[in-house]
Amino acid sequence: MHLKLRNLMLLCLLFLAGIAVQAQETRQNIMVHDPVMTKQGDTYYLFSTGHGISVWSSKDMKNWKPEKPVFETAPAWAVEAVPTFRNHIWAPDISYHDGKYYLYYSVSAFGKNTSAIGVATNPTLDPSDPNFKWTDHGKVVQSYPGKTNWNAIDPNIITDKKGNAYMTFGSFWGGLQLAKLSKDRLSLAQSPEEFITIASQKKDPNAPNPPSIDNNPVDAGGNAIEAPFIFKKGNYYYLFASTDYCCKGVNSSYKMIVGRAKDLTGPYLDKEGARLDRAGGTLLLEGNEDWHGVGHNAVYTFDGKDYIIFHGYDANADGKPKLRIEELKWTDKGWPEIMVKE
């Protein structure tokens, strides 16, 4: 065979082999927990709970390529804060500010408020970029059993009309909290005594937590609300949250609620005018025969469309948590509705 022709055929075979490998690397219907997303250039990047924080990339939000985790080894500060921590990092949040991506993340002992939230930054999310490097800045806030009536997990960052950054977070205990961040977004700008409770399952904030139905600690009780996410749309800030129980596979009862406020600090009201910090909340989506529970959502605008990203426990896959991305529409009165595909 002519040398040039043989070399051309070899190049074609290598090219086809490369396509096959790439096709094998990308996956659909991926398993994730607590997903968040952003877009850089023509690529979507998804971060979720996992060893060192799980990372995926996609060109179309359908075919996902696994990337290396953010942390190959556990941050030293996190091991000190939570002695049982083994680099399984929960519920990240991704945002972009002043030329950097900010990735907030949760470390915790399961079922306890021995928890903390940290933050890492990166100038780019493209692993092929020579400037790609995650820099960990350590702890932002920490909760302590018997000392703080809130749980430092599930962070989400939102900016007010004046450009001030706030972090909302929380799970069970006294409900969801809102705290102002410093200008560099790496620490708190106020003391825990100044935190604002923006959502709770308790009608009376001074009443004891309702009884637990899942063997939670007494101080956590049945105040089953977590995963706050605030999204600005028009004249309102919309607070999304998840209620009831995640992480139980076929027995999960997770569902999503929403309320809104004209001021970032609240109070947030549902469609009926009930305050979310007094057990209010309009139901947005709950489980059905196909999904045992749905929750821990994030909301974004991509190319002029609003999307809600969350996980659901797939009834057709033994209750495994799967990624769901649905288009979010808005009623004439400004309330979100999920356009679930048939």
Token digits for 278? 């007094």
Contact between residue 67 and residue 58 where contact means Cβ atoms under 8 Å apart: no
Angstrom CA distances, 342 to 7, 36, 326, stand at: 49, 24, 11
Which residue of the set 93, 154, 226, 326 is catalytic? 226
The DSSP symbol for 277 reads G
Taking CA 245 as the corner, what is the angle to CA 115 and CA 145, rounded to the nearest 5 degrees? 25
**34: annotated active-site residue:** yes
Cα end-to-end span (Å), the chain: 55
Q: Quote the longest CA-to-CA distance of the chain.
A: 86
The DSSP symbol for 269 reads B
3-state secondary structure 295-342: EEEEEEEECCEEEEEEEEEEHHHCCEEEEEEEEEEECCCCCEEEECCC
Token digits for 295? 């929750």
The DSSP symbol for 193 reads G
3-state secondary structure 246-289: CCCHHHCCCEEEEEEECCCCCCCECCCCCEHHHCCCEEEEECCC
Cα(121)–Cα(95) distance, integer angstroms: 10
Contact between residue 297 and residue 309 where contact means Cβ atoms under 8 Å apart: yes
**244: annotated active-site residue:** no
Active-site amino acid positions: 34, 226
